[in-house]
């Protein structure tokens, strides 16, 4: 046999294999040294068992070669001790006589590797040591393998433990309940979710019969164990837990098989009690919403992105005189809705694009007025549908018109004395001039009559022409014809000026007090303000200096008569504020300017101002600080409504004791004007 641990075949740097020779005769140890060292072995010698123990405790030894007969111990005893204290060291026993009893004891108790009989040739010893060294190597490798295997087993066990713990925590973290049931119908595993639903702790469920904890799984008798898996998957069933509470479960059960056969089943379930309750509540809420939607008195439809009707209430069905099945899925243009459906469709597109509400006013052929309001319906942050509500505001518009006209007439009534005074002034001097014209007419008639008599006398030859001319000059001088003719031109000019003033006042008053609401038209607000100033002039001229700061502004699409009412209300209020201050003449400034696609009108005064507690209420209906009979409290409220109807806004700023500024901001083309905005 060729040993694999032959010293000559060992790797460089690896220590030489060591043999400890134990014999009480030094000559024997030297013979063994001589046999082994030439083969590359390191040989240590001991003459007693005690010395051998010391060497073994101090030096690395691979093989112990020991004589059996020694004074302090037998070789079997020593090698048995070596095997126990220094595992892995290989023992070889030699003796001078082949004694089967010693050989048996050496083999059984000391488990020596080889038994030799002296004397032995060098080759026999070297071969025995080489085989012992190979055995020693195999023992080391086996020990290394065993150690590595133990390490791997420990790691696998730890990994299995971690995996098991992870799976346990994962199982407990599942929102679904999980039960493992054996073939005998006994629960072998339960997670926390299952325990929570069934009203117990997981440990209380394990070992209990499934039937006793309220679940339908019966082990070998359940559908999964019988192979009827489809019948036990995603079933809805009701169970009663240990607290007596009934729970709705979505139940699934799967068969578990091992090589030995069926091993029970695994059931998983989700508590859908709250979901079922929620579904019922959602269904009830949906029915309530449907009922509320259907009870809305205004015709209302819900349109999808393609413009088709997805839902309509009963009022809309009555409006178009069609049943629901003939409405759903149709476009507004396909239905007999009032007014211009194209305008509504355009507004629907704008609402989808801008996600902002919109409104448009429509008139049908019967003269009815509909306020159409559009509202976006959102889903996940995007407009999914648009609600369109048709509100018949014919009566409201008529009432609003009457209220506006009433307030307008009230304003005219308050200004009547001043307007009459403004008319009486030119009427007075026109009448005076007419009296003078009557006198001048008499003088001219007399002069004409005398002149005609003189002319006739000259023609008949009864009068001397020179004397007639002198008589004519005397009559002309008496009449003061040159002055009369000059004064006639002045009188006519004054009368024309007075008549023009009267005409302008009457025209402005007629325009202002016209009972109609006015159509949408483009108007110059500077002109509107000038006309309104003319009407309010008698209120302003005694206490106020009026400053006009009119800028270059575009024409505004509006209802001029309504805006004139707004401006008149603000101007009269400004005049009253200045007069109430009682500090001499004040100032009212009227400004206009362009602001992009908007026009700004400001009316500022240096009057008493408005206290902060009143400033936030001035646009409320019926709020007034004037004494009874001096104001209705509707002026600013109606003014604000008119401005809002024009798509604008009105704001007020005031400092008590210093004055107020009212700012009206109007879009050049308000969206409320609809198709009237197209030029």
Q: What is the pLDDT of residue 131?
A: 92
Quick one: 136 and 262 in the same domain? no
Same domain, 506 and 529: no
CB 277: neighbour CB atoms within 10 A?
11
Give the residue-averaged pLDDT of 392-416: 64
> In CATH, what number is assigned to the domain containing residue 109?
3.40.50.2300
| Per-residue pLDDT, 334 | 84
- Same-domain pairing of 332 and 251: no
Is 62 part of any domain? yes
Q: What is the CATH number of the domain that holds 351?
A: 3.30.450.20
Specify the pLDDT at position 412.
58
- Domain for residue 638, yes or no? yes
Looking at 489, 513, 537, the residue that finishes a domain is 513
Tell me the pLDDT band of 3, cut-offs 50, 70 and 90.
Answer: very low
Give a yes or no: residue 290 inside a domain. no
Are residues 222 and 200 located together in one domain of the fold?
Answer: yes
Reported as a single tens digit per residue, the pLDDT across 630-641 is: 556 677 888 888
* Nearest C-alpha neighbor of 235 from the set 219, 218, 221, 252: 252
Residue 402 lies in a domain: yes
pLDDT at 384 over 50: yes
Closest CA to 241 of 173, 184, 190: 190
Domain end call among 276, 309, 339: 276
28: Cβ–Cβ under 8 A, 6 or more apart, which residues? 21, 67, 118
Output b/e per residue, 284-319; b: 16+ Cβ within 10 A: eeeeeeeeebeeeebbbbbbeeebebebbbebbbeb
Q: What residues make up the domain containing 570? A: 521-677
Whole-number mean pLDDT of the chain?
80
Residues 444 and 559 occupy one common structural domain:
no
In this structure, the answer to whether residues 388 and 402 fall within a common structural domain is no
Contact partners, residue 40, CB within 8 Å, separation at least 6: 6, 7, 8, 10, 16, 17
pLDDT band at 519 (very low <50, low <70, confident <90, very high): confident
Reported confidence tier of residue 5, pLDDT bands at 50, 70, 90: very low
Question: Which range has the top average pLDDT, 181-195, 276-290, 315-329, 481-495?
Answer: 315-329
pLDDT at 475 over 50: yes
Count of CB atoms within 10 A of residue 185's CB? 21
**pLDDT at 199 (0 to 100):** 77
Flag whether 590 is in a domain. yes
Residue 69: inside a domain, yes or no?
yes
Task: Give 528-570 pLDDT, tens digit per residue.
Answer: 999 889 888 888 888 999 999 999 999 999 988 889 889 988 9
Q: Which residues make Cβ contacts (< 8 Å) with residue 143, sequence separation at least 6? A: 88
| Cross-strand bridge partners of residue 371 | 361, 391
Cβ(246)–Cβ(199) below 8 Å: no
User: Do 375 and 499 reside in the same domain of the chain?
Assistant: no
Average pLDDT over residues 60-76: 90
Q: How confident is the model at residue 508 (pLDDT cuts 50, 70, 90)?
A: low
Whether residues 61 and 126 share a domain: the answer is yes
SS3 of residue 499 by DSSP: helix
Q: Please tell me the predicted confidence (pLDDT) of residue 224.
A: 46
222 phi-psi bin (left φ>0, alpha ψ -120 to 50, beta other): beta
Q: Does 162 reside within a domain?
A: no
The pLDDT assigned to 277 comes to: 80
Q: Which residue has the higher pLDDT, 448 or 605?
A: 605
Domain total in the chain: 5
Query: Do both 501 and 569 map to the same domain?
Result: no
Of 527 and 5, more confident = 527
**Top-confidence range, 54-58, 142-146, 208-212:** 54-58
Check: CB of residue 194 under 8 Å from CB of residue 157: no
Q: Which of 3-12, 233-242, 477-486 has the lowest mean pLDDT?
A: 3-12
More confident residue, 337 or 356: 356
Mean pLDDT in residue range 277-281: 81
pTM: 0.41
Residue 532 shares a structural domain with residue 634: yes
Question: Is the bond leading into 119 cis (omega within 30 degrees of zero)?
Answer: yes
Q: Does residue 621 sit within a domain?
A: yes
Tell me the pLDDT tens digit for each residue of 608-629.
Answer: 999 988 888 888 877 777 665 5
Whether residues 23 and 80 share a domain: the answer is yes
Are both 509 and 477 inside the same structural domain? yes
Question: For residue 115, what are the CA distances in angstroms to 52, 120, 168, 263, 640?
Answer: 19, 11, 58, 58, 125
Q: In this predicted structure, what is the pLDDT of residue 401?
A: 61
CB 625 within 8 A of CB 636: no
Q: H/E element holding 594?
A: strand 586-595
669: CATH? 3.30.565.10
Q: Where are the alpha helices (DSSP H) in 461-480?
A: 465-479
User: Last residue of some domain: 513, 548, 570?
Assistant: 513
When pLDDT is averaged across residues 656-664 and rounded to a whole number, the result is: 94
DSSP 153-216: HHHHHHHHHHHHHHHHHHHHH-SSEEEEE-TTSBEEEE-HHHHHHHTS-HHHHTTSBGGGGT--
Specify the pLDDT at position 551.
95
* pLDDT on residue 295: 81
């Amino acid at each position: 046999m060729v040993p694999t641990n032959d010293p000559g075949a060992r790797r460089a740097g690896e220590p030489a294999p060591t043999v400890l020779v134990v014999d009480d005769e030094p000559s024997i140890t030297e013979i063994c040294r001589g046999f082994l060292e030439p083969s590359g072995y390191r040989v240590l010698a001991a003459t007693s068992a005690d010395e051998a123990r010391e060497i073994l405790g101090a030096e690395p030894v691979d093989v112990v070669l020991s004589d059996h007969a020694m004074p302090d111990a037998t070789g079997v005893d020593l090698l048995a001790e070596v095997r126990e204290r220094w595992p892995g060291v290989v023992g070889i026993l030699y003796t001078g006589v082949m004694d089967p009893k010693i050989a048996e004891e050496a083999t059984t108790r000391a488990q020596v590797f080889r038994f030799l009989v002296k004397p032995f040739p060098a080759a026999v010893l070297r071969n025995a040591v080489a085989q012992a060294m190979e055995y020693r190597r195999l023992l080391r490798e086996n020990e290394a393998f065993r150690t590595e295997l133990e390490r791997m087993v420990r790691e696998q066990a730890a990994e299995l433990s971690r995996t098991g713990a992870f799976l346990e925590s994962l199982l407990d973290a599942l929102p679904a309940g999980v039960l493992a049931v054996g073939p005998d119908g006994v629960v072998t595993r339960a997670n926390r979710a299952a325990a929570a639903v069934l009203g117990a702790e997981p440990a209380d469920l394990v070992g209990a019969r499934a039937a006793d904890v309220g679940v339908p799984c019966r082990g070998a008798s359940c559908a999964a164990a019988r192979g009827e898996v489809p019948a036990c998957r995603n079933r809805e069933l009701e169970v009663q837990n240990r607290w007596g509470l009934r729970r709705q479960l979505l139940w699934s059960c799967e068969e578990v098989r091992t090589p030995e056969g069926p091993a029970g089943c695994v059931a998983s379930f989700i508590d859908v009690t709250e979901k079922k309750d929620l579904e019922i509540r959602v269904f009830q809420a949906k029915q309530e919403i449907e009922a509320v939607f259907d009870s809305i008195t205004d015709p209302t439809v819900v349109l999808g992105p393609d413009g088709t009707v997805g839902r309509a209430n009963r009022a809309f069905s009555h409006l178009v005189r069609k049943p629901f099945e003939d409405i759903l899925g149709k476009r507004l243009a396909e239905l007999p809705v009032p007014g211009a459906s194209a305008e509504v469709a355009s507004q629907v597109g704008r609402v989808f694009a801008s996600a902002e509400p919109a409104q448009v006013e429509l008139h049908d052929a019967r003269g009815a007025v509909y306020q159409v309001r559009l509202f976006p319906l959102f889903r996940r942050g995007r407009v999914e549908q648009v609600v369109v509500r048709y509100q018949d505001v014919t009566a409201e518009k008529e009432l609003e018109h009457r209220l506006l006209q009433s307030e307008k007439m009230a304003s005219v009534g308050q200004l009547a004395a001043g307007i009459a005074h403004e008319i009486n002034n030119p009427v007075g001097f026109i009448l005076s001039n007419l009296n003078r014209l009557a006198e001048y007419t008499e003088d001219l008639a007399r002069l004409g009559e005398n002149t005609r008599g003189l002319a006739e006398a000259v023609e008949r030859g009864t009068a001397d022409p020179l004397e007639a001319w002198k008589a004519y000059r005397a009559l002309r001088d008496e009449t003061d014809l040159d002055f009369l003719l000059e004064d006639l031109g002045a009188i006519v000019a004054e009368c024309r000026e007075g008549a023009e003033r009267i005409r302008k006042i009457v025209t402005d008053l007629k325009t202002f007090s016209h009972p109609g609401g006015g159509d949408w038209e483009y108007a110059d607000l500077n002109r509107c303000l000038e006309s309104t100033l003319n009407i309010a002039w008698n209120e302003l001229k005694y206490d106020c200096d009026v400053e006009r700061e009119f800028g270059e502004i575009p024409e505004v699409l509006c209802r001029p008569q309504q805006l004139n009412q707004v401006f008149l209300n603000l101007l009269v209020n400004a005049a009253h504020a200045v007069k109430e201050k009682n500090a001499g003449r004040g100032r009212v400034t009227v400004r206009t300017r362009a602001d992009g696609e908007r026009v700004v009108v400001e009316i500022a005064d240096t009057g008493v101002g408005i206290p902060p507690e009143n400033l936030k209420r001035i646009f409320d209906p019926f709020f007034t600080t004037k004494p009874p009979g001096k104001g209705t409290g509707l002026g600013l409220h109606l003014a604000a409504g008119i401005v809002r109807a024009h798509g604008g806004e009105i704001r007020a700023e005031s400092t008590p004791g210093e004055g107020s500024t009212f700012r009206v901001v109007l879009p050049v083309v308000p969206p409320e004007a609809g198709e009237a905005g197209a030029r």
